[in-house]
Chain A
Amino acid sequence: MRLVLHLDSISISISISTSLFFFSTMPTIAGPSSSPHKHIVAARSENTGVSEVNTPRKRKLRSDSAAEVASTAIVTESSFATPMKWKSPRRCAVSSPKALKKEDSKGKLESPVMSAVKDRFDCLDVKSKWNPRDDDQMRAVKEALHVSKAPSTVVCREDEQRRVLEFVKGCMEQKKAGSLYICGCPGTGKSLSMEKIRQQADDWAQQEGLPCLETVSVNCTSLTKTTDIFSKILGESETGKKVNGSSSPLQQLQVLFSQKQQSSSTKMMLIIADEMDYLITRDRGVLHELFMLTTLPFSRCILIGVANAIDLADRFLPKLKSLNCKPLVVTFRAYSMEQILRILQERLVELPYVAFQSKALELCARKVSAASGDMRKALSVCRSALEILETEVKGSTDQEPQSPVTEDQVVKMDHMVAALSKTFKSPVVDTIQSLPQHQQIIVCSAAKAFRGSKKDRSIAELNKLYTEICKSSMITPAGITEFTNMCTVLNDQGILKLSNARDDKLKRVSLRVDEADITFALKEIRFFRNCLL
């Protein structure tokens, strides 16, 4: 008996020691970031001998993934807590245990950070090296960053989604009609959120045992006539009924919603009208009638309109306020830097390798949020940076096929800077610098001519200025026909603007480009610099 027990205890102790061994080998891979776990810290101190052996080979990997984990950890906490100054993870890759330990003192932070880090434990083990020359890996990263790929969870829009869902649920429970207006800049996740809400409302209806929701989702750009929206709504709900030729679809709907329904289990109808400002006509009739449908006594539709203008409801539907049925307005604000960063990281975290340096992602998020807060632009910039890396790598392959894959071939700051400048820089400066000389002189004389308050001049006056500049530097000026041709070429390119006039000489010219751009473009050439003084 005792022997058996002894054997059991030995086996148990063996199993405990093996598990401890496994437990303690894990932190060697995920060293600095694992500090919140107190017992792992202890294990690490025991096994520092073992960890030293492993560090040289895996040092880069650890700092990479550690940096990513640290950044996500810190970002998740910043999105809940008060905004702290965000330390760049690269700089404090060594000191991050202390940083994270300080945050440990705030009790509430421990749980989300711990859970985030716990999740990372699984992926950290399998985070392999990213090889940019591998086509499959490159394709996977590009796909993860493509605009058309909808992420599985929509982050950073929980608040807005919750409000809309509550509204829809309330309407469904009380079997009342209601209207909601969603506004926001393009690229802020409105249509994406609508899809999620639709699914969630359907699921909730099934859960609660309510009759399931009928949905009509219309993109108003696809309507030939604005009144077609009514026939679309009608077509969904009354599929069996023949369309009555005498009354319009709008009248039919109005009649339908003004009478008490025969059957008791009527379905609620969810109407989602995307790009609603296409419905705006001069007399605003269609938009008005659409919202009025929700005010009819037996109406059973929940109307959600999506557009870009914040004050659409106020400007175009003033009468609704008097009838006390102004739609609820939910604004989708433009993404802030932290939100953009978080969304990008969410997309990239599902991949088993690290493709982007976190500083590069931060730069992209900062620049895009300062410009417009448009998520599509951020994704496009990241993909562009990835392509720059790909051409660089492929270019070097052609030259030295035998060289080993250098470490750290991820998208770095300089790739991101190049991608950002490609996206945000206007081609005007480059074009002005590469114009032929006479056309540059014309642009220069136009810049001088429009310095004052005068906004346009005739071609003859511009020609005079042009000839003066040419004569001052001993260049033969071109004749008036050639001059007019060159002005037309510049008009085609969008640098000058020529008005239409019957007579060539009477055409008015104005400048479309900023004078500062012209000065910047031509500053290398001394002649133009003196000219523009």
Chain B
Amino acid sequence: MKSFSRQILTMGNENPAEKALNLIRGRLCDPTFVFRPLSASSDSNYSKLKFIVSTSVTEGCNNSILLLGPRGSGKAAVLDLVVGDLMEEYPDSVTLISLNGLLHSEDNCAFKEIARQLCMEHHLLFSKMASFDENSQFIIAMLRECGLAHKTIIFVLDEFDMFAQASYSRGKQRLLYSLLDAMQSVTSQAVVVGISSRLDADQLLEKRVRSRFSHRKILFLPPSREEIDSLLEHLLSLPADSSFPSGYVSQFNEKIKNITSDTRFKDMLKTFLNANSTVNSLLKFIFRAVSSMNLESGLLSLENFKTALSSMQRQPKLEAVRADCSILELYLLVCMRRLEVKEQSSYNFISVMKEYKTIHDSFQTSDFYAQNVCLRAFEHLREREVICYAENRGQSQAGEYRSMKLLISASELHQGMRSHACCPAILLKLLDH
């Protein structure tokens, strides 16, 4: 209790570095803030989506649209932005119903969920005992009512491809058919927005459902270099308001500018983006970098970004080899690799020992241990999951006769051994030949 109250006292006097850290971390976790600058340009996905949905709201015509893009590219975030803006502009004319393909792909379940959400929106009582027929009639009636009252219902179908692929509806896609068919009638006023990461999501639809879909697709591509630069500036610059000491703000922003224009940073960013270029992974990268900020100086540095990069591109097995293996274990790994290279399809402990003896005989190494010591080294490697048994059968056999395989690739082994603290040179030579 005492420490807790002390914490509350110190919160008032936290230094600006901590405040800045909290502010930036808060920003990175808020998708609305991240995607807001993208809405400024008129050609962005935000404006295209807003145009389509708002024309449906104002003109009362029905529409259906599909948002496609890899995971983490901001589809749901942009849709939330658009819906939020529309709810502010037209407070009483928009109703939002959201479904998720992972949860609601079965027709019964989906109709119940739609009916429940409609009931909640319009303050009606929802009965869990309602049958499928009753639910569907209720939905049709509500669509008609909302159409007459000029209220638009926006149906958001997350994981759209799951709706199209549900195996237990035997390919009948009833929910999609009913929703898209309702778009065809004059009495209803609704928009169906599908979100999917499968590019061919509309090819998964049955042809009569596809005919009713209006073939509008918005593709979410990874951001370009200029967009990334402006995004970095937007996220990391501190605002010049009174809660921060003014000298600190200008210092911080100056440091950010220096870092982002540094060529080393640009190379680092390029390496990172070569593996994964979605906005989500970029945010995670910045989050890690910011979290490792030095709180005493209160400024970010290039080192923060470097540690973030290495923590995101971890290679666990390589680290196991580099940090955790003894010389004997390295010997055993090299022997297994040589057996693999010699095209021996399966090998067990005994054959590895044979290889080990051959190496010792030909190179007169000083590290030659007895079989039981090697067996213990083997067990250690197996616990670290650098090697494992090749099959699960033959569990009754003794461990020495069961076939084994490597779980680490040759290049990773090589790299691990090269960065090992005291790997003998002979081993590296043996690995290459």
- Tell me whether A and B are bound partners: yes
Give A149 to B185 CA distance when docked, in angstroms.
Answer: 8
- Which of the segments B176-184, B232-240, B291-299, B368-376 contacts the partner chain? B176-184
Chain A nearest CB: distance from B116 CB in Å? Answer: 18
A482 close to B313 (CB less than 8 A): yes
A430 close to B275 (CB less than 8 A): no
Q: For the complex, is B62 an interface residue (Cβ under 8 Å from A)?
A: yes
- Which of the segments B204-212, B323-331, B424-432 contacts the partner chain? B204-212
Q: For the complex, is B318 an interface residue (Cβ under 8 Å from A)?
A: yes
Which residues of chain A (181-199) have a CB below 8 Å from chain B?
Answer: 185-187
Closest to A478 in B: B275
Give A494 to B162 CA distance when docked, in angstroms.
Answer: 13
Chain A nearest CB: distance from B159 CB in Å? Answer: 10
Give A221 to B177 CA distance when docked, in angstroms.
Answer: 8
Q: For the complex, is B276 an interface residue (Cβ under 8 Å from A)?
A: yes
A148 close to B62 (CB less than 8 A): yes
A148 close to B185 (CB less than 8 A): yes
Complex interface: chain B residues within 8 A of A492 (CB): 70-71, 197-198
- Which of the segments A118-126, A352-360, A432-440 contacts the partner chain? A432-440
B61 close to A376 (CB less than 8 A): no
Complex interface: chain A residues within 8 A of B201 (CB): 494
Interface residues contributed by chain A, number (CB under 8 Å): 56
Which residues of chain B (41-68) have a CB below 8 Å from chain A?
Answer: 42, 51-52, 55, 59, 61-62, 68
Chain B nearest CB: distance from A395 CB in Å? Answer: 7
Q: How large is the interface on B (under 10, 10 to 19, 20 to 34, 35 or more residues)?
A: 35 or more
Q: For the complex, is B84 an interface residue (Cβ under 8 Å from A)?
A: no
B133 close to A146 (CB less than 8 A): no
- Which of the segments B216-224, B241-249, B260-268 contacts the partner chain? B216-224
A221 close to B178 (CB less than 8 A): yes
Give A383 to B183 CA distance when docked, in angstroms.
Answer: 15
Interface centre among B201, B210, B317 (most CB of A within 10 A): B210
Complex interface: chain B residues within 8 A of A376 (CB): 211-212, 214
Complex interface: chain A residues within 8 A of B277 (CB): 434-436
Complex interface: chain A residues within 8 A of B316 (CB): 481
How would residues 488 to 499 of chain A score, 1 for a CB under 8 Å from any chain B CB and 0 otherwise? 010011110000
Give A430 to B199 CA distance when docked, in angstroms.
Answer: 10
Which residues of chain B (374-417) have a CB below 8 Å from chain A?
Answer: 408-409, 411-412
Complex interface: chain B residues within 8 A of A436 (CB): 222, 273-277
A430 close to B208 (CB less than 8 A): no
A479 close to B214 (CB less than 8 A): no
A222 close to B178 (CB less than 8 A): yes
Cross-chain pair count, CB within 8 angstroms: 135
A186 close to B208 (CB less than 8 A): yes
Complex interface: chain A residues within 8 A of B55 (CB): 387
Which residues of chain A (207-237) have a CB below 8 Å from chain B?
Answer: 219, 221-222, 224
Give A149 to B61 CA distance when docked, in angstroms.
Answer: 10
Give A479 to B414 CA distance when docked, in angstroms.
Answer: 12
Interface centre among A221, A308, A486 (most CB of B within 10 A): A221
B412 close to A480 (CB less than 8 A): yes
A224 close to B133 (CB less than 8 A): yes
Chain A nearest CB: distance from B315 CB in Å? Answer: 4
B274 close to A437 (CB less than 8 A): yes
Complex interface: chain B residues within 8 A of A494 (CB): 197-201
A493 close to B197 (CB less than 8 A): yes
Q: For the complex, is A348 an interface residue (Cβ under 8 Å from B)?
A: no
Give A116 to B133 CA distance when docked, in angstroms.
Answer: 49
- Which of the segments A2-10, A31-39, A51-59, A421-429 contacts the partner chain? A421-429
A395 close to B62 (CB less than 8 A): no
B186 close to A148 (CB less than 8 A): yes
Which residues of chain A (407-458) have a CB below 8 Å from chain B?
Answer: 422-423, 426-428, 430-431, 434-439
Chain A nearest CB: distance from B162 CB in Å? Answer: 12
B42 close to A395 (CB less than 8 A): yes
B208 close to A486 (CB less than 8 A): no
A185 close to B412 (CB less than 8 A): no
Chain B nearest CB: distance from A24 CB in Å? Answer: 43
Chain A nearest CB: distance from B48 CB in Å? Answer: 9
A374 close to B211 (CB less than 8 A): yes
Complex interface: chain A residues within 8 A of B185 (CB): 148
Known contacts A493-B198, A494-B198; is-contact A186 B315 (Cβ 8 Å) = no
Give A1 to B408 CA distance when docked, in angstroms.
Answer: 124
Q: For the complex, is A131 an interface residue (Cβ under 8 Å from B)?
A: no
Give A142 to B60 CA distance when docked, in angstroms.
Answer: 11
Complex interface: chain B residues within 8 A of A219 (CB): 181
Interface centre among A377, A380, A477 (most CB of B within 10 A): A380
Q: For the complex, is A512 an interface residue (Cβ under 8 Å from B)?
A: yes
Complex interface: chain A residues within 8 A of B90 (CB): none
Q: For the complex, is A275 an interface residue (Cβ under 8 Å from B)?
A: yes
Which residues of chain B (106-153) have a CB below 8 Å from chain A?
Answer: 131-133, 136
Q: For the complex, is B257 an interface residue (Cβ under 8 Å from A)?
A: no
Closest to A467 in B: B411
Q: For the complex, is A463 an interface residue (Cβ under 8 Å from B)?
A: yes
A380 close to B214 (CB less than 8 A): yes
Q: For the complex, is B174 an interface residue (Cβ under 8 Å from A)?
A: yes
Q: For the complex, is B288 an interface residue (Cβ under 8 Å from A)?
A: no
B184 close to A148 (CB less than 8 A): yes
A185 close to B219 (CB less than 8 A): no
Give A486 to B132 CA distance when docked, in angstroms.
Answer: 41
Known contacts A495-B199, A512-B200; is-contact A481 B222 (Cβ 8 Å) = no
Chain B nearest CB: distance from A58 CB in Å? Answer: 32
Q: For the complex, is A147 an interface residue (Cβ under 8 Å from B)?
A: yes
Complex interface: chain B residues within 8 A of A435 (CB): 222, 277
Complex interface: chain A residues within 8 A of B313 (CB): 478, 482
B219 close to A489 (CB less than 8 A): no
Complex interface: chain A residues within 8 A of B174 (CB): 221
Which residues of chain A (144-162) have a CB below 8 Å from chain B?
Answer: 146-150
Known contacts A146-B61, A477-B411, A480-B409; is-contact A431 B221 (Cβ 8 Å) = yes
B198 close to A431 (CB less than 8 A): no
A427 close to B199 (CB less than 8 A): yes
B216 close to A430 (CB less than 8 A): no
Closest to B415 in A: A479
Chain B nearest CB: distance from A461 CB in Å? Answer: 12
Complex interface: chain B residues within 8 A of A528 (CB): none
Give A149 to B186 CA distance when docked, in angstroms.
Answer: 6
Interface centre among B186, B199, B408 (most CB of A within 10 A): B199
Complex interface: chain A residues within 8 A of B183 (CB): 147-148
Give A467 to B318 CA distance when docked, in angstroms.
Answer: 17
Complex interface: chain B residues within 8 A of A437 (CB): 274
A427 close to B62 (CB less than 8 A): no
How would residues 373 to 389 of chain A score, 1 for a CB under 8 Å from any chain B CB and 0 otherwise? 01011001001100100
Interface centre among A143, A150, A439, A480 (most CB of B within 10 A): A480
Known contacts A142-B59, A437-B274, A480-B412; is-contact A187 B211 (Cβ 8 Å) = yes
Closest to B222 in A: A434
Give A512 to B198 CA distance when docked, in angstroms.
Answer: 11
Q: What 8 A-B pairs are tightest by C-beta distance, nearest first? A: A186-B211, A436-B277, A494-B198, A437-B274, A186-B208, A479-B315, A434-B221, A187-B211
Q: A278-B172, A435-B277 are in contact. List 10 more A-B contacts (CB 8 A).
A: A143-B59, A149-B186, A219-B181, A376-B211, A383-B214, A428-B200, A479-B411, A481-B315, A493-B198, A494-B201
Q: Could you list some 10 contacts between A and B, CB below 8 A? A: A185-B207, A426-B200, A427-B199, A427-B217, A431-B219, A438-B274, A479-B318, A481-B315, A489-B70, A492-B71
**A interface residues, Cβ below 8 angstroms from B:** 139, 142-143, 146-150, 185-187, 219, 221-222, 224, 275, 278, 308, 372, 374, 376-377, 380, 383-384, 387, 391, 395, 422-423, 426-428, 430-431, 434-439, 463, 467, 477-482, 486, 489, 492-495, 512
